[in-house]
Structure 1
Amino acid sequence: MAKIAYILLCHKDPAGIIAQANRLTAAGDCLSIHFDARASAADYRQIFEALKDNPAVVFARRRQKCGWGEWSLVEATLEALKAAVGAFPRATHFYMLSGDCMPIKSAEYAWAFVEREDVDYIESFDFFRSDWIRTGIREERLIYRHFFNERSQKKWFYRSLAWQQRLGLKRKVPADLAMQIGSQWWCLRRRSVESLLDFIARRRDVLRFFRRSWIPDETFFQTLIRHLVPDSEIRSRTLTFLIFTDYGMPVSFHNDHYALLLGQDYLFARKISPDALSLKQRLGELYTRRGQRFQISDEGRNLFRFVTGRGRIGRRYAPRFWENDASLGRERLLLMVTCRKWHVAKRLSARIRNVTGLHCVDYLFNEDQTALPDLGGIQTTLEKRTRHRRALVRMLYDYWQTDRMLFCIDPASVELMQDFYKDKAEVRLLEIECAFSDQDLIGHARRTGLAGHATAPEVMDQLLQTIRYDLAFESEQIRECDFPGYTRMSERQSEAANARALADFLDIPLGQALNIVSTSHLFTD
């Protein structure tokens, strides 16, 4: 049976560390603690006195003064790891934690999870080819020597780097190592840890190399485990759920994230906000619970991108260079139909095509599978279509030899609508308002990856409120643009009212418009 030895690096909150230690060891696991030597001596004494008689707790023999991005973090981890290997001979796995981590599954679930496959869990991606590093220096982390801390000694850090670059003082990566990078929150099997400790005892050159690299806790273990363990025995992922913002900062979780966290396919989460006392209490009680079942939905990161992305979608205020003099033409009429329920807009588009013979295209800039003629490759991807939007539409006019065309567009694509309205052509917009039941919104959330079939009801309730508000916001945003030639159809309106709106939009007789909208299943889901 699995027995996990947790490697805990911490520097504050002695009461929280004591509670964490008691909780983890009460479930049957063990813990090795490294408490930062820079932190309060009184705090360390409080932790030591409270836990010294617990046989499942051990302390690192030497405490390091830790600095973010420095080798000291790796050294502290190694000290705690060595203490755990020696003190807990029955430990089968070693799991790296910080003081900001909390379990989001029970111990029972965690043991079954690590026993499921005989593998190590550690993120490890090619250092030079992957895009794991989002901001800051990249290969400079390795090929130059770092003597100063970028956060506390910024001037000297970059001055030293500039001097080495000017003097050509690059150094070589150890020839037998393929440098890797990934999260520092890993879970390793005992034999992998023992192989690693034996390797670094023999290879002092490797230690010297990493000692002067920058942020080695993201490269040291990742590189050596990939070097020592067969690829088939490594899962390149962390078992700790964490999210980073666009600026590379970790997201904190709060009291109302309990249901969300339990649904993620991870064993722990960080960072838990220091003020999330209720969340900490509930997660603490969860770890020792027996018979707890979990529904894994794993939508957390998609949800974060969705919620934080609202209102942060970029705008542009000048034409792209390829769009200069790329007008559709003053003599042409462009008709846009926007509706969140794509199938409703497609049905209307098909009816318009059949009744009037107008050339209609379904969701030209939103759906990969939209049927289009061969236009020399510009139509092949959504990225190309959007980048060359006016050129694409102009080519469609020319291909069909027409001056009137209609396409469907998603309500979120307001920037595209605004761009076409700036053209010299006559542009009109028809918005179709639909009613959305909770089941409609749940289906939308699942299709877009915001939720899964196992998403907790509490999470789904909060998500539905957000989506419903988002839909209302999109419609309001379109109206606030005050587009000329804007008309509106609605599921709540009579067929006569919708026919008048469509007749104005298409500039066709009312009887013909009524024939189009009278289809019985236009708004049917």
Structure 2
Amino acid sequence: MKIAYLIRAHRAPAQVARLIGALRHEGAQFFVHIDAKVDEAPFRAALAAPDVRFIVRRTRMNWGGYSMVRATLHCLRELLASYEDGAPDRVVNMSGQDYPLISNAAIAAYFARHADMEFISYGAMPPAFWGPVQMQRIERYQFYDCEPLVWPSNTNGAISRRLPWRLRAAHKLAHWLLPRRSPPAGVTPYGGSAWWCLTGATARRLLALADANPALARFYRYTLHPEEMYFQTLLMNSGMDPARVRGEYRENALGDYLWFVDWRGASPRILRAGDLDLLLGANRMFARKFDASVDSRVLDLIDEARPYHTLR
């Protein structure tokens, strides 16, 4: 099975190399995008291999901004262009702090059993898991990707308050004083996770739809975390049969979403060795987020368990 892993990273080259090593199998290709704000050289040194390609058109990725969507679209374009025979069987969009919980054989077998299914978490805005307050993401003007109103983030992804108070005040005033916004006519907005597994044919179709719908890009350019909404909205408004899409939010719980994420906090919790039973009992294909500088033992334990673990 041809699986294209699209990995966005901005730190920890050795950890990204370990992720690729864990996922490496016949038919796999790895497409790595390194945030344009950081030096790519350490990643090229750590990841040098015939099955690894670095995305040429790098993007400065800003926390909460449309630059995340732009980077993913550039990556998809380069990824799909590299397949002369059309497209891979699967495109897996993940971060450099993810890790697989099952063997590569089990991953391929699961995708083969569900060859026509798309795996992406989704729910009509606002998804039950998010709550009504999250409508502010799209109804209010957001400027998290607009220079000089780029909001720095710390290493855990949380907003840093280093931005001068005058700029913070300007952002808040614009957020509340400008009129409420609505998506383009006829579009129902959706939300979910930034990480997904789509068939190659659907990934190519979404890229074509993105090119054909510039109004949607203009709308999401001024939203918060559009990478968690744009692709869901594009897919669920494309006319695709919802029965082919796995990962719907139901009663505050994820359906067939393939990632385990511990959301017992404002952002994904760093997973540690003490979480192993939780991880292996989650019935998920991947998990995030990991930080080898905090706890690398958890990755060792997962590697020991992966050959004997599969999805139910």
TM bin (shorter chain): 0.7 to 0.9
Deviations 1:217-237 (A, max 9, x none): 111111111112221111124
Deviations 1:21-46 (A, max 9, x none): 2332345411111111122x2xx213
- Mapping for residues 16-35 of structure 1, pairs under 5 Å: 16-26=15-25, 28-35=27-34
**Equivalent pairs, count:** 284
Aligned to 1:142: 138
Superposition TM-score, scaled by structure 1 size:
0.50
Which residue does the alignment assign to 1:438? none
Q: Determine the structure 1 residue equivalent to 2:3.
A: 4
Q: How many angstroms apart in 1 are the aligned matches of 2:113 and 2:311? A: 17
Deviations 1:286-327 (A, max 9, x none): 66x4xx35485xxxxxxxxxxxxxxxxxxxxxxxxxxxxxxx
Contact conserved, 2:19 with 2:98, CA < 8 A, in 1? no
Counterparts of 1:50 and 1:138, CA distance in 2: 39
Aligned residue for 1:191? 201
Cα shift at 1:174: 0.9
Structure number with bigger Rg: 1
Structure 2 residue 213 is matched with structure 1 residue 230:
no
1:195, distance to aligned residue in structure 2 (A): 1.0
The gaps in structure 2 that reach 5 residues or longer are 144-148, 152-158, 248-255
Q: In the aligned structure 2, how far is the partner of 1:18 from the partner of 1:94?
A: 19
Map 1:113-512 → 2, pairs under 5 A? 113-117=110-114, 118-128=116-126, 130-134=127-131, 138-147=134-143, 148-149=149-150, 151-152=159-160, 153=163, 155=165, 156-157=167-168, 159-163=170-174, 165-166=176-177, 168-228=178-238, 229-236=240-247, 237-245=256-264, 247-274=265-292, 275-284=294-303, 289=307, 292-294=308-310, 296=312
For the pair 1:97 / 2:98, whether they are aligned, the reply is no
- Structure (1/2) with the larger helix percentage: 1
What is the CA-CA distance between 1:16 and the residue it aligns to?
1.5
Higher relative contact order (CA 8 A, sep 6+): 2
User: For the Cα contact (< 8 Å) 1:6–1:94, is it kept in 2?
Assistant: yes
Report which of the two has the higher share of strand.
2
* Per-residue Cα deviation, 1:358-405 (whole angstroms, up to 9, x for no partner): xxxxxxxxxxxxxxxxxxxxxxxxxxxxxxxxxxxxxxxxxxxxxxxx
CA distance in 1: counterparts of 2:90 and 2:214, whole angstroms: 25
Identity %: 25
* Amino acid paired to 1:238: Y
Are 2:41 and 1:45 aligned?
yes
Q: Which amino acid aligns with 1:120?
A: E
What stretches of structure 1 of length at least 5 have no aligned partner?
A: 297-525
Verify the 8 A CA contact 2:33 2:75 in the aligned structure 1: yes
Tell me the distance in 2 between the aligned counterparts of 1:267 and 1:164. 38
- Give the 3 Å change call, closer, same or farther, for CA 162–138 of structure 1 in structure 2: farther
Residues 185, 239 of structure 1: 8 Å contact kept: no
Name the structure 1 match of 2:68. 73
SS of the residue aligned with 2:121? coil
Q: Is the CA contact 2:59–2:70 (under 8 Å) kept in the aligned structure 1?
A: yes
Instruction: Work out whether 1:63 is the aligned partner of 2:58.
Output: yes
Do the aligned partners of residues 178 and 154 (structure 1) sit closer, same or farther apart at CA in structure 2, a change above 3 Å counting? Answer: farther
The answer as to whether partners of 2:103 and 2:310 remain within 8 angstroms in 1 is no
Measured after TM superposition, the shift of residue 101 of structure 1 is 0.8
